[in-house]
Amino acid sequence: MNPKIDERIKEEYEAKITGKFKIKIGDKTVAKGKNKWTRYFVSSLVQSLYNSFWDVDCGRYYTTRTARLMSYNHTARVGTDVSTPSSPDMADLVSKIDIAPDIKVVVIFKELDYSEYRSRHRYAWYPGTIPAQTIGEFGVYLYLSDDSWSSPQENTQLYYIDHVSLIVPYVNPALRLGARVSSGDGDFDPIDYDSSEALIFEWYVTIKF
């Protein structure tokens, strides 16, 4: 192929996915930057193209029933660790403060020319919800696979024979750490939180192509 065409395809048609965050105390933004993904998030993105519908009653896949996707029962947590870098196999925050946010909201956006799509997960802890202490890490927990499937994993077509369902192999999903931001990665300076104002964590996923 013509090298110029190769370069044009790379520049114009290459999709990019980024994860970013903002940390606010009250109305003031105190930090922003990029998150670190876990392998559970990336694996689940791939599996969303692989799987059929999840049967929430039987724990198996069928061609019908209700699907539980990534933001099913999503949540966030903060932690006190200020020195541990993130790694793809992290399953939890290092020193988690296990207090759920008071508010959690998801919003999705798209550009009019269809060149960019993004989501925003917003979590807020009211004043006094988290005791005064140093905060060094944030984590987003989504409904994700445990990534124990073998590669390559083939999904044969689902169908019924005499009302018996042929089931696609699948790794059971659960609420797992999907993204982490931390002082240990240099994402933000440790926060001396005094609990007098709301603590707000916004997490963005953007796909451009």
pLDDT digits (tens, 9 = 90+) for 160-204: 444 444 444 446 778 999 999 999 999 999 999 999 999 999 999
Residue 69: predicted pLDDT:
75
Classify residue 132: in a domain, yes or no: yes
Classify residue 152: in a domain, yes or no: yes
Classify residue 10: in a domain, yes or no: no
Cis geometry, peptide bond prior to residue 152 (ω within 30 degrees of 0):
yes
pLDDT band at 115 (very low <50, low <70, confident <90, very high): confident
In this prediction, what percent of the chain has a pLDDT beyond 70? 76
Residue 54: predicted pLDDT:
45
Q: How far apart are CA 169 and CA 167, in angstroms?
A: 6
In this prediction, what percent of the chain has a pLDDT beyond 90? 57
Classify residue 37: in a domain, yes or no: yes
Structural domain including 67 reads 16-208
Classify residue 24: in a domain, yes or no: yes
Q: How far apart are CA 108 and CA 205, in angstroms?
A: 9
Classify residue 121: in a domain, yes or no: yes
- Dihedral sign for Cα 185, 186, 188, 191, please: positive
126-136: average pLDDT: 98
Q: How far apart are CA 178 and CA 176, in angstroms?
A: 6
Which among 17, 47, 57, 15 has a CA at the least distance from the CA of 147? 47
Q: How far apart are CA 110 and CA 201, in angstroms?
A: 21
Structure tokens at 173: 């999903």
Classify residue 74: in a domain, yes or no: yes
120-136: average pLDDT: 98
Classify residue 1: in a domain, yes or no: no
pLDDT band at 65 (very low <50, low <70, confident <90, very high): very low
How many structural domains are present in the chain? 1
